[in-house]
Chain A
């Protein structure tokens, strides 16, 4: 009697075990397609939206070209600055354990979390005449307000976490024993860094720089507080939108989307893992 009761129950159980598998696969597939569409749909729409004449006109527009040039120059400079000053921090975080490490890591991540205008306000605060640091900058004839230097400062600020986190993860993947062996063979810290760590981590440094540059290229909220002029591409786009409407801001957007796409393609290609830590 009992046996006949158990069998259907088991069948239901087996059925249930199969059902979530099917559900799981559907969830995987459907959401992957949805996410791709969500990113690609609006962007593709924008790319194909501009009328040909207006687009060609925009390509000849000196203001547009200058702003895109400035965007590329400033973000590239920011990436180089983060490379020079961010690499040591990434190395220290990857290799050392110390009290307050979590705090340091949180501080590095702050620029990702805080609203962008706050970044601009914070930078303006310490560079004003009333602040000792601002006074120091003024004595060097450096001003952040309304200058390319200000724009670069903002870009470094928002791009640093992306660089440091990428490079840190990369260095963590390189066995520390390689450095220890190098030291035991007579190479000092510096020689070990340049002869062992750098050749094994340049890929991560490059990826970190591109991440930083891409992030800097897209910054708007903080830049508009520090420098409306000289105009970077996102600010120009915003200006065209408020002054002339959607039709005239679209071509600038298309150019920026194309530039970003190129960068990320480049990023994907060079970061192809060639199993360098083997």
Chain B
């Protein structure tokens, strides 16, 4: 288990923490946050590349706060893969084995096994400058794992790749996580990466952990409006609660019992959880409303429609045919609805957003 206890790092313009976090052994953990939130700092301090200004880090009960990086048995893969340019792929991969008590023939066998698993065995004698981005990232992964680390730190391993290679590398990561038995600690600003790969996750914002737990829980039950926004809940509105009812922007829905005696908060709703259609299609558990379309934006293969209703402007994902056949255009009056149980209620806690 990696346990980070009240870790603090201070710079003149930025300070991280105090951060406390626990990551189970052999798990796949994702640390999410926007650019500049301190993700890489936390990663480098686990690797021992940054001196901390307080707190402690331990791995499997062993305090490594003061240990130099070479004694931590923690592998590191950077986003830019940082391969040694003067060595071939194979030489890169076996680079660290001699420092980790890995016997030469066994090391060679394992290196070749990793290369085969990652489909880079044909690149053995190539220099990094002649590899594609995806190949470089695979070599960097193999290099880190060839030393059999207890913990593998991944700094946005997928974000520098072209979209068509991402899927392949995601599968590789999953497979390597299973076969190596190491704890994977991945930093990412992409929620999809976290959701597909990690069992557990935490969200870091401005140097502080805002929420940690199961990745799906963070996705479904963000604890702050910042996280709600980060995980793609586009419809976030201030809400007030009274007598079992929740009111936001002049719209009233039943409040769940979990809200308790909270009086103020926010509601958050995913654009894909809003249902647009004709009146007959709504079920009884849905809140039915109507509004006027204010815009239609293409979002990859689907469309996002924005419309105003009462005092609120909603965003909803639109079915393809509704956008294509011209049924919905700017100014169209539409009926829409959402299930009450899909509305997420956020307790009012101080938001760190400026």
Interface residues of A (CB under 8 A from B): 175, 177-178, 180-188, 191, 195-196, 199-200, 275-278
Contact = CB atoms under 8 A, between A and B. Distances in A.
A177 B80 contact: yes
B95 interface: yes
Given A180-B47, A180-B76, A181-B76, A186 B147 contact: yes
A185 B86 contact: no
Given A177-B80, A188-B70, A182 B85 contact: no
A182 B143 CA distance: 10
Interface of B: 44, 47-49, 68-70, 72-76, 78, 80, 82, 84-86, 95-96, 98-100, 128-129, 143-144, 147, 153
Contact of B68 (A181, A188, A195): A188
Contacts, number: 74
Give the one of A175, A183, A195, A278 with max B CB within 10 A: A183
A271 B142 CA distance: 33
B86 A276 contact: yes
B82 A278 contact: no
A178 B70 contact: no
Nearest to B71: A186
B49 A185 contact: no
Nearest to B49: A180
Contacts of B98: 186
Contacts of A188: 68, 70, 99
Closest 8 A/B residue pairs (Cβ): A185-B96, A186-B99, A184-B76, A183-B69, A177-B82, A186-B96, A199-B86, A181-B82
A180 B80 CA distance: 13
Contacts of B84: 178, 181-182, 196
A75 B143 CA distance: 43
Contacts of A276: 85-86
Contacts of A277: 85
Given A188-B70, A199-B86, A183 B75 contact: no
B86 A200 contact: yes
A180 B74 CA distance: 12
Given A191-B99, A278-B129, A183 B82 contact: no
A194 B70 CA distance: 15
